[in-house]
Amino acid sequence: MTHPRLTILPILLTLLTMLGWSCIEDDISTSAADQPAFSVDTLRLGTLFTDDPSRTFTLKVYNRHDKVMSISSIGIRDGSSGIFRLNVDGVSGSNFSNVEIRPNDSIFVFVAATLPPNHSAELVDVKDHIDFTVNGVRSHVVLKATGCDAVSLTDYIVETSERWDAAMPRRIFGTLTVAPGATLTLEAGSHLYFHDGAGMLVDGTLRCDGTPEKRIMMEGDRTGEVISGVSFDLMSRQWIGIRFTPSSVDNVLTHTTVRNTWSGITADTLATSAYPSLTLVNCVLRNSDAPVLDVRHSSLLAVGCEFAESASSVVRLAGGTHEINHCTLSNYYLFAAIRGPLLRLDHSNADTDDESGLPYTSATVTNSILYGSPSEMYPADLYDTDIYLHRCLLRSSGSDDDHFTDILWGQDPMFYTDRTAYRFDYRPRKQSPAVGASMTEYDTGLMTLSPVDNYGTPRAVPAALGAYEPPADIQ
């Protein structure tokens, strides 16, 4: 039989241990030297649309000491403005008292903001502080955000020709439609932000008159970072993209960036319309789930453009007539398995016939770079097609034939791109084999259409292959 004292002993030990823990927890620091530590000194909320609640940002507050820390007050220094809002360990409010942190533990402080209108096209920086008072000593974390006013448009239809200046950004909800016969012209520096599920449908004509100094931007309206070091700029699937329908003609986009889309730019314009139906000069199309450029039974002229970062093929051509000169096609997409080659050529011969009854693909790619994680092309064998590559740099090894002439086979363009650092810079280094490698007989119209690259760097003679000259200010 178990002795009663042996049964009581473990119970007493448990009670003593619990009392000991309780004493430790009740031992609150009163030393001015015991102060909290913070996950960041400055919490940056990024650029926010005014009058639009931000997402929630997180600050972690640490007690790195061996006693309980009692924070006598937590609050926004200029709390009367109502711009920033707090939630401390699950409780919302503007001011908090006697918040305790166990020894060597931490709490979360969640921050959100709604910035007031600026009544100006200029971005306005907003700054405040979260103050923490512990044992009579006050410390703080800086809060920073930038307010951006924008004109909001919902399911807007351009019924007669309109010219939009760059005085204010525009935020698109639903579908922005350019009606048949109408022309929408975007002036240099215009910025269009598209909300989730929004897109542009062009039944008429779109003209984007960007310049190297004042590019036209079309992107998703989510700002800031997905996770630390990864901005929403790199993410696809934020808005639908731009679709040119069969009634659309004479579209010209210069120095224009289109990014963060589901389907990039899709052109379904009539193959019988005047060539080219779509002209892209010094454009950047990147970060799309589907191809960044998908041209179906239409006509394309692309000069000095970057086509990059897609979960699918980067460019798809199916039927129609196309000329691609001094363009860079690359793909190091990070956020999904890449499911297609850089350049997909459909409806190019009897083997790839799409039964449309329309003419097969006719394409010429000159002085360009096709280099990235996936294969360059489908089909790789261009026999019995009207598709030709002249003086291009390819990752694959091979030899010239009737469809591949003056090719730099198996060469590395030596981009500045660094996937691990989330840097996607497709300019070649000075020692790249692409530099000075173009052949002028294939440069029809380059100096007229694209005398400088997207960064404003003048084209050399002979120019570098691809969209860019090497930068002078980067080693």
Burial class (CB in 10 A: 0-12, 13-18, 19+), 381: exposed
- pLDDT higher than 90, residue 189: yes
Q: What is the DSSP string of 302-354?
A: EES-EEEEESS-SEEEEEEEEEEES-EEE----SS---S-SEEEES-SGGG--
Domain ranges of the chain: 37-147, 151-449
**Block residue for tokens 């009663």:** 4
Average pLDDT for the chain: 90
Closest CA to 111 of 93, 132, 138: 93
Q: What is the pLDDT of residue 420?
A: 73
- pLDDT higher than 50, residue 172: yes
Q: Please name the fold of domain 37-147.
A: Immunoglobulin-like (2.60.40)
The string of pLDDT tens digits covering residues 426-474 is: 999 999 999 999 998 888 778 899 999 999 999 999 999 999 999 987 6
The string of pLDDT tens digits covering residues 32-56 is: 999 999 999 999 998 899 999 998 9
Q: Is there a contact between 50 and 148 (Cβ–Cβ < 8 Å)? A: yes
- What is the rounded distance in angstroms from the CA atom of residue 379 to the CA atom of residue 307? 19
- % of the chain residues with pLDDT over 70: 91
Q: What is the pLDDT of residue 271?
A: 56
- Bond before 36 cis per omega within 30 degrees: no
pTM for the model: 0.85
- pLDDT higher than 80, residue 403: yes
Q: What is the DSSP string of 246-293?
A: TT---EEEESEEEEEESS-EEE---TTSSSPSEEEES-EEEEESS-SE
